[in-house]
Structures are given as C-alpha cells and as structure tokens.
Amino acid sequence: MRSENLNRLGVGKIPIGVLDSTVLRFTGAESKLLATPPKAGLDFAAIRLGRNFMVISADPITGVVSEIGRYAVAVSANDVATSGNRPQFLESVVLLPAGSTTRDVAYIARQIHIAAKDIGVTIVGGHTEVTPGLSRPIVITTAFSFVRRYVSSDGARAGDTLMMTKTAGLEGTAALARELGPPNGSISSGVAKRAKLFLDRISVVDEAEAAFETGRVNAMHDCTEGGVLGAAYEMSLASGVGFELDEAAVPVAPETKAMCKHLSLDPMKLIGSGSLLIATKKGSEKLLQKALNGICGVSPIGRFTNKERVLLKTDGSETRISSAPEDELWRALRGRE
C-alpha cells in the first residue's frame, strides 16, 4: 500500500491539496452546460439553461445539534447568495442517530421549514433516515436558484478592496454558546445569552443581493469553516491572486472576543457564516457601504494583490499564509470530548 494512502485526515474540511488530488480529479462525464465547474474555494456551481443559469450548492452541518435545521438552511442558501442572487429552492438530507424519535424528526423539520420560509426559499424534497454509527444528527442541504447573471468567488482582481460584512466568527460564537453548556469562568450569563442570538445573523442573503446590485462587485465568498482567514485564503486561491488582510481592521463583537478569550481561540479562524467577504473595485467602498446601509455594517479589511497572502497582525508583524487554517470550533469541540 502506498504511504499517502495511510495519511490520516483531521476533522473538518480536507486540505485543499488533498481535495485537488482526489475529489476534484473525479468529476464524472464532461458537459458543455457547466458554466462554473468545481474548484477549490468556490461556493457553488453554475449550469447553463439557455440564456440563464442554475446556481446550486450543497453543505452539511456536522458539528452542532442545537438549531441544526436553521444552520443547515443558512449555509447552502448563503453559498447561492454569494452569486448575487437569492436562493429559491432547497432539498434536505437528514441523518439521525439510532434511538431518535418522531419528536426529533419534527424538531429538525420545523427548523428547516421556518428558516427557509424566512428567506423565501421553497423546500422541494430530500431524504430522512435513522443511520447506524452516528453520535449526533447530520443535516445536508442543497440550495439552488435560476438566475440571469452572477459573480463567483474566483473573480477577485489584484487592486480590489477586500470588504467584510458584520463581525467575525458569528456562527462559531453562537455554536459555542449553545453547545458548550452553561457559562462559567469569565463568561457571564448575559454574554452567553447574547452570543446564542448570533444565530439570527447568519444569513447573508440580503446583503449579498444588495452588494451585487451596485454593479461594483467582482467576487463574494461566505465566511464558513476557517473563518475570515480561511475565507480570504480560499477566495484568493480561487482567483489566483494574493492578499493583505489587516487583522486590526476586522470587526469582532464583544461576545465573540469574550468567548474566544475564555477558550483560547482565534476569532480570525472561527467559523463565521453570516459574514460575507466582498471584492469590490477600488474607490467603490463608500458606494457599497451606502448600499448596505440599513441591512448590516460593512468594513474594508484589506486588499487583493499580485503578491503573497499576508496577514498583517495587530502587533505590527506579518504572517505569510500558505494554507487554509483548521477551524477553531473543531478545536473547542474536540477539547470537550
């Protein structure tokens, strides 16, 4: 047996190098209808339908149990939204551990229903089963939409300003508050209660649509696993450019700072669904801020370059980024087990 077959993978997304050498080498039959083929760092695929396109994306929720249905709708809906278009339809696959009850099924199904209805998405089907060997539920959703035009995360250009909506680590903050039990130590009950409510902020559908309508956006990418740093890395990799990411410019909510300090986590690497990275043409920053006024805040946090991928640290040092980081949520949950 070759040695590479013995390399064990860590939890979370598989490394991009492994993805390129395995999964992305095996993509079935070729099709001339595929407008945006699979590539590391892309949020969705696009398929030609005459003069229009179908934008489609699938994602799992594996690390949390509380409100898993809401998370599941948000992650795939957000990926479609990074095209600049609202998601329209959704399918779900719900895998339940042995011993689950009809109440468990209803609990997840109702969450999916409410979350989809809130953003105007129609549920068109899926699959639900009890699966041996699971310790917690897994929910996978596929969202799709029919659109006339779109952008994708591989459209960033050197010279573009990198902007970010809301604050870092939104999804991770909510998940940590919900999954790790009652607060203790430096986390007050008030902080934990507010952190749990960050789940209400994890949709980027409205802001992505408003940003796209300005006509000044070259690319967008959802901050999922690996947080702001992971999303910036994936976006630059897909686009074939470098970046300078200014850590001091990245907004971090007080609740996220408190949770990360208590657990010794880095908010820059904490899963952040609800924050959208936007590559906008230089000089368009104020236009973008005006377009998103009333929806959410948006801040310039760096720029795309023709050089290396560099994180400018708050202490004035620079760190070269050569790979996507492991998400801090996995580290925290692993420490609990």
Residue 60 has pLDDT above 80, yes or no: yes
Domain for residue 130, yes or no? Answer: yes
Give the domain CATH number at 95.
3.30.1330.10
CA distance 233 to 219: 13
Domain-located, residue 270: yes
Is residue 21 in some structural domain?
no
Q: What is the pLDDT of residue 133?
A: 95
Between these two residues, 270 and 186, which has the higher pLDDT value? 270
Mean pLDDT of the region 86-109? 97
Same domain for 123 and 206: no
**pLDDT range class, residue 89, cuts 50, 70, 90:** very high
In angstroms, the CA 316 to CA 277 distance is 23
Range of the domain at 185: 161-336
Q: What average pLDDT is seen over the chain?
A: 93
Whether 133 is covered by a domain: the verdict is yes
What pLDDT is stored for residue 182 in this prediction?
64
Tokens of 314: 């708050």
Please identify, among 147, 177, 207, the residue that sits at the C-terminal boundary of a domain: 147
Which of the pair, 249 or 186, is modelled with greater confidence? 249
Q: Is the domain of 202 the same as that of 270?
A: yes
- pLDDT at position 59, please? 94
Q: Mean pLDDT, to the nearest integer, of 216-221?
A: 98
pLDDT tens-place string over residues 39-50 = 998 999 999 999
Residues 200 and 129 in one domain: no
Q: Is the separation of the CB atoms in 142 and 75 below 8 Å?
A: no
By CB neighbour count within 10 A (0-12 exposed, 13-18 middle, 19+ buried), where does 91 fall?
Answer: middle
CATH number of the domain to which 257 belongs = 3.90.650.10
Is the model's pLDDT at 180 over the cut of 90?
no
Residues 128 and 177 in one domain: no
Alpha carbon distance 196, 73 (integer Å): 17
Amino acid residing at 248:
A
Q: Which pLDDT score is estimated for 2? A: 47
Residue 86 and residue 199 in one domain: no
**Do 75 and 191 lie in a common domain?**
no
Residue 180, domain member (yes or no) = yes
Burial of 104: CB neighbours in 10 Å, binned 0-12, 13-18, 19+: middle
My answer on whether 170 and 115 are in the same domain is no
Taking the model in full, what pTM does it have?
Answer: 0.92
Residues 199, 230, single domain; the answer is yes
Give the residue from 147, 177, 195 where a domain finishes.
147
Looking at residue 181, what is its pLDDT?
Answer: 65
Burial letters for 232-269: b for 16+ Cβ neighbours within 10 Å, e otherwise? Answer: bbbbbbbbebbbbbbbeebbbbebbbbbbebbebebbb
Assign 50 to helix, strand or coil: coil
300 and 325 housed in the same domain: yes
Written as six digits, the tokens of 332 are 């925290």
Does 200 lie in the same domain as 327?
Answer: yes
Counted domains in the chain: 2
Shared domain for 142 and 173, answered yes or no, is no
* Domain-located, residue 5: no
CB 143 within 8 A of CB 79: yes
Are residues 254 and 325 located together in one domain of the fold?
Answer: yes
Domain stop point among 147, 182, 206: 147
Cα distances (angstroms) measured from residue 258 to each of 35, 228, 337: 44, 18, 22
Distance CA 270, CA 284 (A): 28
- Residue 109 counted as domain residue: yes
- Does some domain include residue 126? yes
